[in-house]
Structure 1
Amino acid sequence: MICRSCNQEHNNNFCPNCGEKRDVEKITLTSMMSYAFASVTNMDKGFLLNLKMLLLKPQRITSEYLNGKRKGILNPISFLILSVTLYLVVLELFKIPKKPSDISKLPSGTLETLGNMSYKAGQFIRTYLKFFWILAIIPLGLAQKLIFRKYNFTEHLAISSFIIGQATLVGIISYLILRWPLIFDPVIYIMITWMVYRVFRTNNKLDSLLLAFVVLFLFILQLILITFLIGLSQV
């Protein structure tokens, strides 16, 4: 037969040239749904493999991914996007009624300006929460790069995607119990610190833990600066 992908003639179950399967089933709604469900729930690959490995052996999965051993591992950006999407779905299902904010009650002068900036920044972040939190891999990656110079910046972005994705999933449980907003949830930041420690842990565990806290400090500092700049641009 002739391979559908590369036109190589062969009689094997898989094309020896490109690996395309010989007998390809027609796409149906059932097959698409089955594939989608299997790709998410399979513990040996994809989303749940990431979840399991990042929980039990985060240093191993990040190291293997960066070293090219990526079979079965869900792309870190895809993992992050899926994690944030799941969080937002839960947020929508268990939404807390918003209390109306009256910025007119803020004191006049400098405090009024700062309060208005904070209010505007909060509105902006709530509106674009998904994008804001996904892009948080940049300040986290930068903080990691400054402290841990083992990898290049792009590799740190991949690690940050794994870490923030996993922390966001833990944040789902935290939100259901504590009802803290995503970017103010202390559980998420504790999880980020713990993940950074686990991923970059060396034989000197105390030093690794202290460096993980430094990364967290730099990360939060950048988030505050970004929030300030957003508020400044919205006033």
Structure 2
Amino acid sequence: MTCISCNKFHDENYCPNCGEKNGIKKITFSSIIEDAFSTITNMDKGFLFNLKALFLNPKKITTNFISGKRKGILNPISYLIISITIYLIVINVFKAPPEEVTETTTSAFFASGQKIGNAVGLFLRTYIKYFWILSIIPLGFSLKLVYQKYNFLEYVAISSFVIGQATIVGVISFLIFRFPLIFDPFVYLTIAWLSYRIFKDNTAKIASILLSFVSLFLFIIQLVIITACIAFVIS
């Protein structure tokens, strides 16, 4: 059979010259749907593979991805985006009814602070997808500062895996406790737990636990600063 990409004749499943798969089917509506679902539901590759691996052996999947062994692993940014999309779908389907606001006599200072807080809350709810995706940068910086093992972009990739997985935990937490994603304690505990599992030193487990919480603390401090900057701009 002749390769459709480089025209090399071969009898392998994949072209030995360029790696193109043999026997590619024509694009149809059913093939598009099938490929989309396969990316998400296949336990040997794609979203569910990442989900399973990050729960069972997060160190292996992240180490493999960084070292270039990426067969079956869904790109960390794609994993994060899918996780956030699932969260947004869930909160829109199961959102709580709006609370009734009662007027009370308050000081001008408190009223002003409440107004700014409401504006910041609205901003974060509106742009939560982008805010949470960009949070991989401060987390990557925190991990880089604490562990000093990889370069910054590699830590950003690891952060994408970590925050994507924490977001899935946030979906479950929301269904039970109705915690907003960025204020959900289970999300941040998951980030600390994954940091510990990925960078754990078996000869110094206590130190590894402390380092994971130090990186989490640095991450939260950066989120607070970013939120304060948003409040300043809005005010």
Same fold (TM over 0.5): yes
- Rounded to whole Å, the distance in 2 between the matches of 1:103 and 1:140 is 40
Q: What do residues 74-119 of structure 1 show as CA deviations (whole Å, max 9, x unaligned)?
A: 000000000000011111110112225579965223x444333322
Alpha-carbon contact 1:140-1:160 (below 8 Å) kept: yes
Equivalent residue, structure 1, for 2:24: 24
Q: Does the CA contact (< 8 Å) of 2:3 and 2:10 recur in 1?
A: no
Q: CA-to-partner distance for each residue in 1:190-215, whole Å, 9 max, x for gaps? A: 11111111111102111111111111
Aligned residue pairs, count: 233
Query: Which segment drifts farther, 116-125 or 86-95?
Result: 116-125
Correspondence for 1:158: 157
Following TM superposition, by how much is the alpha carbon of 1:11 offset from its aligned partner in structure 2, in angstroms?
A: 4.1
User: Moved runs in structure 1, 4+ residues, more than 6 A?
Assistant: none
- Give deviations 1:161-209, integer Å, cap 9, x for gaps: 0000001101111100000111111111111111111111102111111
Counterpart in the other structure of 1:174 = 173
CA gap 1:178/1:104 in 2 versus in 1, 3 angstroms: same
TM-score by structure 1 length?
Answer: 0.93
Q: Which residue of 2 aligns with 1:149?
A: 148
| Aligned counterparts, 1:55-204, within 5 A | 55-99=55-99, 106-109=106-109, 111-203=110-202, 204=204
Give the aligned partner of residue 228 of structure 1: 228
The answer (yes or no) to whether the contact 1:103–1:116 under 8 Å persists in 2 is: no
What is the CA–CA distance in structure 2 between the aligned matches of 1:38 and 1:84, rounded to whole Å? Answer: 19
Distance 1:101 1:160 in 2: 38
Identity rate of aligned residues, in percent? 53
- Give ranges in structure 1 of 5+ residues lacking alignment: none
**1:6-46 deviation digits (Å, cap 9, x = unpaired):** 233x1424433212234322111111111211221111111
**What is the alpha-carbon distance in structure 1 between the residues aligned to residue 49 and residue 105 of structure 2?**
50
Structure 2: which amino acid aligns with 1:190? Answer: L
Q: Report SS of the residue matched to 2:108.
A: coil
1:92–1:41 distance in 2 versus 1, CA, 3 Å: same
